[in-house]
Amino acid sequence: MVEQAEIRVVHQGGSNITFREPAISSDSRFLLCASGHNVKVFSTVTEECVQELRGHADLVTGVLLRPSNHLQAYSCSADGTVRLWDFTDGILIKTYVIGYPICSIYASASHDGVIFIATPTKGYKTLDSLQLLAVHLPQTAGQLVETSDLSAVLSDVSANPATVAFGRAGEYVASTNGVQLQIFFFKKQKSFRFSLKENSCSGRSNTFTCVACHPTDDCIATGHEDGKIRLWRNFDQKREYTYRTLHWHHSTVRALCFTPEGSNLLSGGVESVLVQWRYQQESQQDFLPRLGAAITHIAVSPDGALFCTSHSDNKIVLIQSCVKVSSIIQGLVKGEAVQTDLMVDPRSKALVLNGKPGHLQFYSLQRDRLLFNLDVVQQEFIHQEGLDQFQVVMATLDGAGAWLATVEERKQETAEAELNLKLWAFDEPSQSFVLNTTVSTPHEVRITAVTFDPAARGQTSLLVSCGRDGLFKAWRLAVPAHPDDGGPSWTCDFVSAYHGLTPQRCCFSADGSLLAVGFQEVVTVWSPASWELLLTLSQPPGIIRDLCFGRLSCSKFLLGTTSSNQLCCWNLLTCSLEWSTSMEVSLLLADPLSDNMAAFCHQDGNTDLFVFKPSEPRPLFSQKAVCSGRVSRAVFAPREVALESCEESSQWLNRSQLYFLTPLMDLLTFSTRAEEERLMTASKQLVVDDSVAMTPFQLLLGKRRPHHQAAVEDPAVRPPADRPVPPGGSAAVRELLQSPAHVLPAAAALCSVFMEALLGVATETRENETSAGETPSDPEEEEEEEDSDQEMETRATRPERGLLETDSADPVLSRAQVRELRRVRKLDHSWFSSLLDS
Amino acid sequence: MASFKPTKIPVYPKLGEKVTQDTLYWKNYKAPVQIKEYGAVSNIDFSPVAPHNFAVTAFSRIHVYGPFSQEPVKTFTRFKDTAYCGRFRSDGQLLVAGCEDSVVRLFDVSGRVALRMFKGHTKAVHVTDFTSDRYQILTGSDDYTCRLWDIPNAAELSTYREHTDYIRCGVTSKLNRDLFITASGSYDHTLKVFDARAEKSVMTMDHGQPVESLLLYPSEGLLVSAGCGRYVKVWDLLKGGQPLVLLKNHHKTITCLALGSNGERLLSASLDRHVKVYNTTTYKVVHNFDYAAAILSLALAPDDESIVVGMTNSILSIKHRKHTEESKEMMSQQRRRPSYRVFVKGKNFVPKPDDYLVSKPVKEHLAKYDRELKKFNVSKALDASLEIWLRKKKPEITVGVIKELDRRGTLKNALAGRDEEQLSQLLHFVIGNIVDTRFAPIILTAAEMILDIYKSVIGQSALIDQQLLRLQNILESEINLEQELLEVLGMLDTMFATSVTRKEVPYSDVGRSNGLAQGEASSSRPELFRPPEIK
C-alpha cells in the first residue's frame, strides 16, 4: 500500500469562477474572483490568469478590494479565516482567524479597519439563518492574527450574498430576507423593516433577490423574483417611505449594481440581458442582449470604466462602460449533468464535453482553459426557465479527429422527441468543425449509442448508431451521385435488428474489423466489412450495460458489464467466457494507448477504481473510495510526454492520464508524485513578472523587473508622472526617432537592424542576469552573434550605398551609426517596455 | 456579443426530377399548338430544305405545314385509302407516299396530282423512301417484299423477297446510294441491310421483337431499332451488326425514333404516351415529355426548333422553341448596367501597403420574420411568414417559423387573437400542408391549437366553417389512405416472408455448454429467421 500512496486524486482545473461576485482592481487591469479554494487574478486585457492566490483550506466565499488600499484585497473562506493579499504580487499579507465559517464579506470605505462578514448564527449549523458581524481588524504585526472584537450588526440575513448592501458613505446597511427589507443606520443605531405581500396581484412571488444602494443618494434598489426592480426612498421613516417599480425583466432579477457615480443602475437576470437604467430617467434603458447565460453577479470597477457580469455557465464577461463587450473569461462550463461522454480531441488534445446548452466545449486540460465552443444546435437559445430546448445528448469523435458526430434531442410532451444526428467535418483552414450532414430523426425513438469505427480513415469512415426502436444503423460517407451536389455526405449504409431487442451499446474493436452490439442480454458480434452476424454471446441474467474490446495484446477479449453486477470477459477466439467476476461496475473504459482497462465500481455509496489487464487475473492498481457517488463519465487522455515510471502500480499512468467527473461535476484526475514534483518546478520557473500579463514579447523585455517592482511596492508614488523617463543616454536612438522621416533611410531597411539590436539586448542582459556570479557565457558564441549581426547590417545597408553617392548629405545609417546603435542597445531600454506597459 | 441566430429552415430533399441543363433545354418550348387531323397521324417528315415544311400523313391525306402556320400550306388528297409514310426528297421538291391500296404515289410539292404511280406491290405499302442519289425509290410492303423503283420511268428495278413478314419500317443510307435497311414488323423480327448492287441482303440482325421504327445515325455507323418489345436497341453496323446498347425505358410499344440536337440526343416515342430523350453518349434518359394520347409519330425540326408529335386521337401537337429570352436578357443587362457600377464602386480600390484599414461593422441581414422573432413579436413573426408568396413558394419557411415558435413555447400566443381574414389565411395554409409528411407533425400540433383557441367562435363565419369542414375531409381521407397503405404493407411483408427460404441455424455443442449461442445470418433481414435459442 506504500506504493499506492504515491498516486492520489487531484482536482484538475475547471473550478467555478462565478461562485461569488468578482472584484475589479481600481485601475481596471485585474479581475479577482473566487475559484474553488483559491482566488484567481485575471488580466482584464489578455484574459489570462496572472496570479493564483493559494492559501485557503476551504471554499473561498468572497473577494473584496480593501477600501483603504486598492492594491490589497480581502478574501474570506468557509475555513473561518479572512486573508489580506497583495494581489499584484500574490503575497499573503495577513490572515485573520475568525473561527466561524464565513459566507460572505462586505466592507465600506467609511468604516476603517472594520469588515463585515456573514456567518451562521450560533447554534445553527445550517445556512438558513445568518448574522452580519462587524469585525474590527486588530492592527498588530505578524502574519496570523486572531480577531476577537466581533459585534453583531444584523441578524436574520439571507444566505445569498447579494442581499446585503452598504448605503451612501456607509451610513446604513440594507439587507433583505424573504419579503422583508431591513435597514440599519449606524449613527442612530436604529433599524427599519419594510415588508411586502407574499405574492403580487398577478400571483408571482414578491421575494427579494438582491439589493443595491445608491453611492451618493439615499436610494435603495431591490430586485424581486417576479422580475421587478423597486427603488426605495425615504426609508428612514417608518410610514412615509415610497418606492417606485421598474419592470423590464420577465423573470427573477439576479443582480443589481449602481455605477460608482450613481448615474446608472445595472441589472441582470435569467434573460441574460444586461440592462442599464439611467438613474432618475428610468424610462431610458440600454440593453446588452445575448450574453450567453443567466447573469448571476454584476460588478463595476471603482472608476466605473469597466463592468463585469458573471454568468451561470462559468463565464465572466467584461464590458466597457459604453455597453460593449471587451473580453470574456470562460472557465469550464458545467451544466447540471454531462450527457455526452467525455472525449479527447486527437488534434487539440482537448477534453470535449457538453458546454453551454446546445454547444460542445473543447477544454484544454494542459492550459486549464476553454479553447472554443462548437455550436451544435445552431438555434437562438431562449433564456427562459422551464423551456424545453434542444440538448446535445451524444457526441463522438473518430480516430483521427476528422469527423465529429453529435446527437441532439428535444423532448416534447405533445409529440415524440425530436432527434437530429449531425456529422461535422474538421476544416483545416478554419481549424474547427464544419457541419457536413444533418440527419433528422435517424431513429424513430431515442438513440442509445453512437460510435465511429476507430481504424477507418478518410473516405471509409463508418458510424454506427443504435436506437430504442430496436435497430442499429451504419452510416457511411458517400460521394454524391451528381458532381454539382457538393461534397460527400453521410448516408445510411446498413440497417439491422436482432429479434426486436433494443440495442443498448455498441463498440468497435481497435482495428475496426469487429463490431459488438449489445442487445439487452445478448452481445452480437458483426463484421462491418460484410455485415454478417458472426457470433452471439450472452450471460444471463442481466442487461448488457457496457461493452469494450481489449486493446493491443488483449484484443482477443471482449469485456462487458451487466446490470446484474457481473463483469464478463469473453475470448473471441474460442467464443467462450474467459472469466467473470461479480462487481457493480458503473463504467468500463479501455486505455487507447495500452492494454489496460479501468473499471469504476460503485459500492456502498463510494466509487472504487480498478485498473487491470484482461489477460491477467490480478488488478494492476486499485483504489477504494475515489469519490463519493457514482462515477459515470471518465476518459483516458493521452499524455504529450510519456512518464517513465517503473513502479508497477503507477505504470498504467505512463502513457495516458485518467480523468473522471464526479456526480458533483468536479473534474478529477490521478497524478503521481513524480509528476507533481515536476509541475511544481515548472510553475516556479514560470513566475517572471507579476504585474504584466505574460506574453512572449514581455519575456523579451522582462529585464526591467526589479526596477518596476520597486515602483509597485510603493503605491503612493506610483502615478504615471513617476514613470521612468526615457534614458537620455540613448542619443542615437533619440536622434533616430526625432530626425524627420524623409531624411532617414527606408523604414524597411532600418527596422530589422533596430529590432535586432533590441532583441540582442534582451537576450544578453537576461543571460547576464541569470548567470550572474557564474562563468560568463562563451566568448566565441558572442563573437558569432556579432558576426551574424554585422552580416545582416551590411546586407541591410547595401542598397543605401548608391543613394549615398548621389546624396551624401543625408544622414544614412552608416557603419559608424550602426556601431552607435549597438552601443545604445547596451544602455537601458526600460523606457521602451514601460511604453509597452502603458 | 453573439449575434441573433436566424431561424433554422430545414432543407428538405427536392422531390421530383432534378433540374439539369437538359431539362432546362427541353422545357424551353412554348405551349403546344394542337391541330385536329382526319385520322391517326402515322408519319411526320420534315423537309430537308428551308423553311423546313413538314408533311403529316394522317388517314387518306397528307398535309404539308409551314414552320409557323397552323393551317396546311398544301394538301394531297388523291389517295383511295389510308396513306402511309409521306417523305420528302433531299432537295425538298418531291414527296413520296405509300397507300393501303398498294400503289406508291410520287408528288411534286407544288402540284396536286401524282407525278408518278408505282404499281407492283400486292398489299399495302407502309415504307417509302428516296435513295441518296435522288432518282430511285425504296418501298416496303405487307406482301413481304421491298422494291427499288426508278423515278423517271416508274419502272421496278429490283425486288427483294427475303423478309418473311410485313415490312413496316425502313431507311435508306444518306451517304451511299446503294445501301438501304429494312425491317419487318409482326413475326419476322429481323433487320436486314441490302445493297442494291447485290442480289441478297448483306447483313441480318435479329431484333427479337417486331420492329416499328428504324433510325440511322448521321455517321451511319450506328443503327437504332425499336418496336413492340418496349426495347430500343442500338446496333453497330461497322462491327457487323453487333448489339451495342439495350434501352428499356418505355412500357408500351415504341412507335417512333428521332434524333435531336445534331445527333447528340435520341428521342423515342411510345404508345405509353411518353417521349423520352436520351443522351447518345451515355444512353441515359435526360428528359421526358408527356402527351395526352398514345403517340404514333414524332419528328424534330433541324436545331430542335420544333417538336411535332402525332397521336392516335388524330391530334397533331407542335411545340416551338422559345426565342424571346435572349432579347429579354439583353434588355435586363442594359437595365442592370448602372446598378452594377454602383455595386462595384470602391470595390476595386487596392489599398497601399501602409494604409490603415478601418473596417465597418457588417450589418447582418435578417428576414422579416427573423426581425420580428428577435423582438419577440411572435404574432407578427407568424404573419410575416404567412405572406402569400412565402407560404405558396416556400412552405418550409412558414413551417420553420411555426416550429421555432413552438420551440419557444409561444405558438399558442402567436396563433391566438386573429380576425376572420387572418384565420382563414392560416387555415388555408394548414389545409394545404397538413398531409405533407415533411410538415405533418408540427402542423398537426398547430391545427390542434387552432381548434382549441377558436372552438368558441365556430359557427360565426361561413368561410371559416367551410375551411374547417375541408380540413376534416382531408384528414378523413388521409386516415383512410394510410390504412390502405398499411394493409398493402402487411401483404407485402407476408409475401416477402414466404419467399425467403428458411435456414437452419447451426448450434455448436461448445457454445451450448458454455452458455453461449452462435448464430449465423447473411441476409440483411435477419429478423425474419427463426429466433435462435438464447440459452
- Quick one: three-class SS letters along B349-416? CCCCCCCCCCCCCCCCCCCHHHHHHHCCCHHHHHHHHCCHHHHHHCHHHHHHHHHHHHHCCCHHHHHC
Rounded Cα–Cα distance for residues B383 and B371 (Å): 12
Q: Which residues of A touch B528 (CB under 8 A)?
A: none
B258 and B139 within one domain: yes
From A176, A248, A238, select the one nearest A213 (Cα to Cα): A176
For residues B151 and B292, membership in a common domain is answered with yes
Greatest pairwise CA separation for chain A in angstroms: 99
Whether B171 and B276 share a structural domain = yes
Task: Give how far B354 is from chain A: nearest CA, Å.
Answer: 11
Nearest to B522 among A384, A387, A532 (CB): A532
Q: What is the pLDDT of residue A699?
A: 61
User: Nearest residue of A to residue B448 by CA position?
Assistant: A414
Choosing from A624, A656, A682, the residue where a domain stops is A682
Residues A667 and A557 occupy one common structural domain? yes
**Inter-chain residue contact B518 with A575, CB threshold 8 Å:** yes
The answer to whether the beta carbons of residues A70 and A26 sit under 8 Å apart is: yes
Assess whether A623 and A549 both reside in one domain: yes
A665 membership: H or E segment, kind and range: none
The answer to which of A266-280, A514-528, B505-519 has the lowest mean pLDDT is B505-519
pLDDT of residue A265: 93
Question: Is the CB of residue A383 less than 8 Å from the CB of residue A358?
Answer: no
Question: Band of the pLDDT at A730, cuts 50, 70, 90?
Answer: low
Q: Is the ipTM of this complex over 0.90?
A: no
Q: pLDDT digit string (tens) for B133-186?
A: 888 898 988 888 889 899 988 888 888 888 888 888 888 888 887 777 776 655
B158 and B57 fall within a common domain: yes
Give helix then strand counts, H and E, for chain A: 8, 57
Same domain, A61 and A181: no
Q: Is A255 helix (H, G, I), strand (E, B) or coil?
A: strand
Residues A45, A28: contact at Cβ < 8 Å? no
Residue A588 lies in a domain: yes
Indicate the residue among A157, A187, A217 that finishes a domain. A157
Cα A806 off chain centre by: 62
B532 touches chain A (CB under 8 A): yes
CB contacts, 8 Å: B515 with chain A: 538-540, 577
Out of A135, A157, A179, a domain closes at: A157
What is the C-alpha radius of gyration for chain B, rounded to an integer number of angstroms?
A: 34
Query: Within 10 A of A642 (CB to CB), how many other CB atoms are there?
Result: 12
| Residue A324 grid cell | 460593449
Neighbours of A354 (CB within 10 A): 26
The per-residue pLDDT for range B39-89, each reduced to its tens digit, is 889 899 998 888 889 999 988 889 999 888 888 888 998 888 899 989 999
Give residue-wise pLDDT tens across range B3-20.
788 888 888 777 666 778
Shared-domain flag, residues B137 and B61: yes
Q: How far is CA A716 from CA A713, A721, A723, in A?
A: 9, 12, 13
Does A239 share its domain with A131? no
Is the residue at B504 inside a domain? Answer: no
Instruction: With beta carbons under 8 A apart, name residues in chain B contacting A538.
Output: 515-517, 534
Structural domains counted in chain B: 2
Closest CA to A760 of A823, A672, A714, A808: A823
Same structural domain, B316 and B389: no
Taking the Cβ of residue B516 and every Cβ of chain A, the question of whether any pair is shorter than 8 Å is answered with: yes
When scoring B406, B412, B439, B516 by the number of chain A Cβ atoms within 10 A, the one with the most, hence best to mutate, is B516
Q: A400 or A690: whose pLDDT is higher?
A: A400
Same domain, A130 and A230: no
pLDDT at B380: 92
* CATH number, domain containing residue B90: 2.130.10.10
Domain check: are B307 and B374 in the same one?
no
Q: Which of B479, B498, B525 is the last residue of a domain?
A: B479
Of A648 and A264, the structure prediction assigns the larger pLDDT to A264
Per the CB < 8 Å rule, is B407 touching A379? yes
* DSSP letter assigned to residue A485: G
CATH number of the domain where residue A586 is located: 2.130.10.10
Question: How far apart are alpha carbons B215 and B225 in whole angstroms?
Answer: 6
Does B505 fall in a domain? no
Residue A457 domain flag: no
Burial group, residue B405, by CB count within 10 angstroms (0-12, 13-18, 19+): buried
Q: Closest CB to B515: pick one of A289, A388, A539.
A: A539
Does residue B260 fall inside a structural domain? yes
| Secondary structure element (H or E) that encloses residue A184, with its range | strand A180-185
- What distance in Å separates the CA atoms of residue A782 and residue A815, rounded to the nearest whole number? 19
Tell me how far apart the alpha carbons of residues B89 and B112 are, in angstroms, rounded to a whole number: 17
Q: What is the pLDDT of residue B332?
A: 59
pLDDT of residue B18: 72
Q: Please tell me whether residues A81 and A33 are part of one structural domain.
A: yes
Q: How close is the nearest chain A Cα to the Cα of B444, in Å?
A: 10
Asked if residue B80 belongs to a domain, the reply is: yes
A105 with A251, same domain: the answer is no
Q: Please report which confidence band the pLDDT of residue A702 belongs to, taking 50, 70 and 90 as the band edges.
A: low
Query: Residues of chain A with pLDDT > 90: what percent?
Result: 14
DSSP A382-395: P--TT----EEEEE
pLDDT per position as a tens digit, A40-65: 899 988 888 888 888 888 889 999 99
Number of Cβ pairs closer than 8 Å across A and B?
99
B411 in a structural domain? yes
Residue A110 in grid coordinates: 467609511
- Both A101 and A221 in one domain: the answer is no
- How far apart are the CA of B499 and the nearest CA of chain A, in angstroms? 19
Is A558 strand, coil or helix? strand
Same structural domain for residues B311 and B186? yes
pLDDT of residue A621: 86
Q: If you compute the radius of gyration of chain A from its CA atoms, what whole number of angstroms results?
A: 32
Query: Taking CB atoms and an 8 Å cutoff, what residues of chain A touch B531?
Result: 499
Using alpha carbons, select from B199, B147, B148, B190 the residue that is nearest to residue B165.
B190
β-pairing, A8-11 vs B167-172, is: unpaired
**Each residue's pLDDT tens digit, B499-527:** 876 655 544 443 333 433 333 333 334 34
Nearest CB neighbour to B521, from listed A379, A388, A533: A533
pLDDT tens digits, A285-303: 889 888 888 899 999 998 8
Q: How many CA atoms lie within 13 A of A566 on its CB side?
A: 18
In a domain, B523, yes or no: no
| A481 has pLDDT over 50 | yes
Nearest CB partner across the interface for B511, out of A292, A496, A575 = A575
Check whether residue B303 and residue B425 sit in a common domain: no
Round to whole Å and give the CA distance between A253 and A267: 7
* Model pLDDT, residue A809: 44
Say whether the peptide bond before residue A541 is cis (omega within 30 degrees of 0). yes
Q: Is B378 a domain residue?
A: yes
A375 located within any domain: no
Mean pLDDT of the region A228-256: 89
Does B4 touch chain A if contact means CB atoms closer than 8 Å? yes
Q: Given this model, what pLDDT does residue A468 score? A: 87
Tell me the C-alpha distance between A462 and A472, whole Å: 13
Cα gap A79→A453, rounded to integer Å: 50
Residue B446 belongs to what domain range? 368-479
Domain for residue A665, yes or no? yes
Give the domain-ending residue among B479, B510, B527. B479
Same domain? A103 vs A62: yes
A502: Cβ–Cβ under 8 A, 6 or more apart, which residues?
A: A448, A468, A470, A519, A520
| Calpha distance A739→B246 (Å, rounded) | 88
Quote the pLDDT of residue B524: 38
* Element holding A703 (H helix, E strand): none
Alpha helices in A234-367 (DSSP H): none
How high is the pLDDT of residue A3?
40
With CB atoms and an 8 Å threshold, state whether A290 touches B3. yes
Specify whether A148 is located in the same domain as A169: no
User: Within a domain: residue A642?
Assistant: yes
- Most confident segment among A702-706, B233-237, B320-324: B233-237
Range of the structural domain that residue A113 is part of: 15-157
Q: How far away is chain B from the Cα of A709, in angstroms, using its nearest Cα? A: 36
Q: Are residues B105 and B193 in the same domain?
A: yes
B-chain CB neighbours of A535 within 8 Å are 516, 518-519
Tell whether the model's pLDDT for residue A777 goes beyond 50: no
Q: Distances in Å between the alpha carbon of A290 and those of A156, A375, A376?
A: 36, 14, 17
Is residue A703, in this structure, part of any structural domain at all? no
Mutate to test the interface with B, among A380, A471, A526 (most CBs of B within 10 A): A380
Read off the C-alpha cell for B406.
Answer: 413552438
Answer yes or no: is A812 within a domain.
no
Across the interface, of A378, A415, A521, the residue whose CB is closest to B445 is A415
| Cβ within 8 Å, pair A415-B441 | yes
Chain B's closest residue to A383, CA to CA, is: B408
CA B534 to chain A, closest CA, distance in angstroms equals 7
Going by C-alpha positions, the residue among A189, A105, A114, A124 that lies closest to residue A149 is A114
Q: Mean per-residue pLDDT for B232-236? A: 90
Q: Do A540 and B441 touch (CB under 8 A)?
A: no
Task: Quote the number of domains for chain A.
Answer: 3
Q: Which residues of B touch A533 (CB under 8 A)?
A: 519-521, 526
- Shortest distance, CA B2 to any CA of chain A (angstroms): 6
Element holding B533 (H helix, E strand): none
Is B64 a domain residue? yes
Residues B310 and B398 in one domain: no
pLDDT of residue A157 exceeding 90, the answer is no
Q: Would you report the helix, strand and coil content of chain A in percent, each value rounded to 5? A: 15, 40, 40
- A211 in the same domain as A77: no
Q: What is the mean pLDDT of residues A190-218?
A: 86
Q: Put residue A125 in one of left, alpha, beta given phi > 0 → left and psi -120 to 50 → alpha.
A: alpha
Q: Cα(B317)–Cα(A616) distance, rounded to whole angstroms?
A: 85
CB contact (8 A) between residue A380 and residue B441: no
Contact yes or no for A351/A365 (Cβ under 8 A): yes
Long-range CB contacts (< 8 A, 24+ apart) of A650-655?
A650/A3, A650/A6, A650/A7, A650/A621, A651/A620, A652/A591, A652/A594, A652/A596, A652/A611, A652/A620, A652/A621, A653/A7, A654/A594, A655/A591, A655/A593, A655/A594
pLDDT tens digit sequence for B186-214: 567 888 888 888 888 888 888 888 888 88
Kindly state whether residue A28 falls inside one of the protein's structural domains: yes
Q: Higher model confidence: residue B177 or residue B330? A: B177
| CB-based contact A772:A704 (threshold 8 Å) | no
Q: Residues of A with CB below 8 A from B3's CB?
A: 290
The three cell numbers locating residue A408: 441532439
Question: Are residues A165 and A263 both part of a single domain?
Answer: yes
